[in-house]
Amino acid sequence: MELTLTRPDDWHLHLRDGDLLAAVAPHSARHFGRAIVMPNLRPPVTTTGAAIAYRKSIMEVLPDDSDFNPLMTLYLTDTTSPNEIKLARKSEVVYAVKLYPAGATTNSQDGVTDLLGKCLPVLEEMAEQDMPLLVHGEVTDPDVDIFDREKVFIESVLRPLIQKLPQLKVVMEHITTADAVKFIESCNGGNVAATVTPQHLVLNRNSLFQGGLQPHNYCLPVLKREIHRQALVSAVTSGSKQYFLGTDSAPHERRRKECSCGCAGIYNSPVALSLYAKVFEEAGALDKLEAFTSFNGPDFYGLPRNTSKIKLKKEPWKVLERIPFPSGEIIPMFAGQMLDWKPSF
Ligand SMILES: NC(=O)N[C@@H](CC(=O)O)C(=O)O
Ligand SMILES: [Zn+2]
Ligand SMILES: [Zn+2]
């Protein structure tokens, strides 16, 4: 069996910089037409000037024949100015602004400490300029259990935000719970959408501890219970236009994952399309796959859909064991395992 899909886009991707960028960008460029590139570098990409420079460094490592288009984002801080949003919109390089609650995830230390208290003028300018806000939706209060941080964020930050600024486009990134699905559905018809990663659709929190601690399955928001995974599968395979593909592919060097305090992030670009296809196939919803991978995202962002196609062949293929690069190696999700649905170009 073979599926032909309009070329997908990845609406949540970490490409990093330096050696790591050169090692991972070609994988995304082969599978995806465009990607929303996350700004959580060190230092973070907080200005349009920095986003333009970062985009240039991505273009430099792509193969000559690649037509991959990186769509850049700005990292929101307590001091981002409304004028920066005007510059971003004019640039035609920046497509969204990313909210990291300070301390919530990898390289979020410069993030926002109090969204409505500190950033309201910027958010108003974003609504005015039709610039989407992308959200890492977890509270950072250490007293809140890590498995509840998304649920608490929805009620304490997201709902007040959309009540205050219903015109603002908001993407809740990498949703992980039935609570998030319920929230997204309650915003039906509004300006609120969500991305869903392959790992949150195929794994539950047991896979963090399967036969021992599994650092390569650790990401944020952390994997949840099976009932939450099932709610995500029902949501994405329902045909709702509010969900679209965002891998959150987040490579870290192997030695930074396999150590006494390992980084959060799963490198899934090589396997993402195969896993999404498996999820839709198992739900009997392969007819809804293309809208999720290729239509709902550009429609939400007000961008044209891609015109070229890719194929997924139902044949077994083996995931690479490791991806070496000059200063280390990356272990991809499902390294060395067999998957169905082989992308072909
Ligand atoms: N998802 C992750 O676990 N990690 C991401 C950051 C993020 O998307 O929260 C990273 O940059 O490594
Ligand atoms: Zn995140
Ligand atoms: Zn991410």
Q: Which amino acid is at 174?
A: H
Q: Using omega within 30 degrees of 0 as the cis cutoff, is the peptide bond preceding 221 cis? A: yes
Q: What average pLDDT does this structure show over 59-79?
A: 97
CA 250 to centroid of ligand 3, rounded, Å: 6
What is the CB < 6 Å shell around ligand 1? 14, 40, 105-106, 136, 219-220, 248, 250, 264-265
Q: Classify residue 297: in a domain, yes or no.
A: no
Q: From the candidates 136, 216, 228, 252, which is the catalytic residue?
A: 136
Which of 9, 12, 169, 216 is catalytic? The answer is 12
Beta strand 309-313 pairing with 342-344: antiparallel
CA-nearest residue for atom 6, ligand 1, is 106
Q: What is the pLDDT of residue 190?
A: 78
Q: What is the pLDDT of residues 15-50, one digit of tens each?
A: 999 999 999 999 999 999 999 999 999 999 999 999
* Beta strands in 178-296, from DSSP E residues, in sequence order: 192-196, 243-245
As for how many domains the chain has, the answer is 1
Determine contact, residues 42/69, Cβ cutoff 8 Å.
no
For the chain, percent of residues with pLDDT exceeding 70? 100
Do residues 311 and 345 touch, judged by C-beta distance below 8 A? yes
Cα gap 335→267, rounded to integer Å: 10
Task: State phi, psi for 95 to the nearest 5 degrees.
Answer: -115, -5
* Predicted pLDDT of residue 271: 98
Element housing 234 (H / E): helix 226-236
Min mean pLDDT across 47-61, 180-194, 227-241 is at 180-194
The mean per-residue pLDDT over the stretch 165-183 comes to: 98
Of the residues 10, 216, 248, 257, which is catalytic? Answer: 248
What is residue 229's predicted lDDT score, i.e. its pLDDT?
Answer: 99
Compute the distance between CA of residue 112 and CA of residue 119 in angstroms, rounded to an integer: 8
189 has pLDDT over 80: no
Is the ipTM value over 0.90, yes or no?
yes
- The verdict on residue 212 lying in a domain is yes
Two tokens at 247? Answer: 């891998």
Our CA dihedral for 251, 255, 260, 266, rounded to 10 degrees, sits at 20
- For the CA of 220, the closest atom of ligand 1 is 3
Q: Name the residue of 11, 76, 138, 219 to mutate for ligand 1: max ligand atoms within 8 A of Cβ.
A: 219
Distance, in Å, from the CA atom of 306 to the CA atom of 285, rounded to the nearest integer, reads: 22
Centre of ligand 1 from the C-alpha of residue 17, in Å: 15
pLDDT averaged over the chain? Answer: 97
Phi then psi dihedrals of residue 97, to 5 deg = -125, 135
For residue 302, being part of any structural domain is answered with no
Structural domain contains residue 314? no
In tens, the pLDDT along 200-235 reads: 999 999 999 999 999 999 999 999 999 999 999 999
Tokens standing for residue 75: 């990292």
| Residue spans of alpha helices (H) in 237-329 | 254-257, 272-282, 289-290, 296-301
Judge whether 282 lies within some domain: no
pLDDT digits (tens, 9 = 90+) for 111-142: 999 999 999 999 999 999 999 999 999 999 99
Instruction: Report pTM.
Output: 0.98
Task: Identify the pLDDT of residue 65.
Answer: 94
Q: Which token pair is 249?
A: 């592919």
Q: CATH code at 34? A: 3.20.20.140
Q: pLDDT tens, 287-331?
A: 999 999 999 999 999 999 999 999 999 999 999 999 999 989 999
User: Rounded to an integer, what distance in angstroms lies between the CA atom of residue 290 and that of residue 247?
Assistant: 15
31 is catalytic: no
Confidence of residue 345 (pLDDT cuts 50, 70, 90): confident
Distance from C-alpha of 70 to C-alpha of 55, rounded to nearest angstrom: 7
Q: Are 171 and 300 in contact (CB under 8 A)?
A: yes
Closest C-alpha among 211, 332, 337 to residue 278? 337
Cα separation, 46 vs 44, in Å, equals 6
Question: Is residue 304 domain-resident?
Answer: no
| Cα–Cα distance for residue pair 177/223, rounded to 1 Å | 9
Measured at the CA of 181, the angle between CA 179 and CA 183, to 5 degrees, comes to 70
Residue ranges making up the domain that contains 121: 10-268
Mean pLDDT of 187-192: 87
Mean pLDDT of 279-293: 98
For residues 29 and 344, the model is more confident at: 29
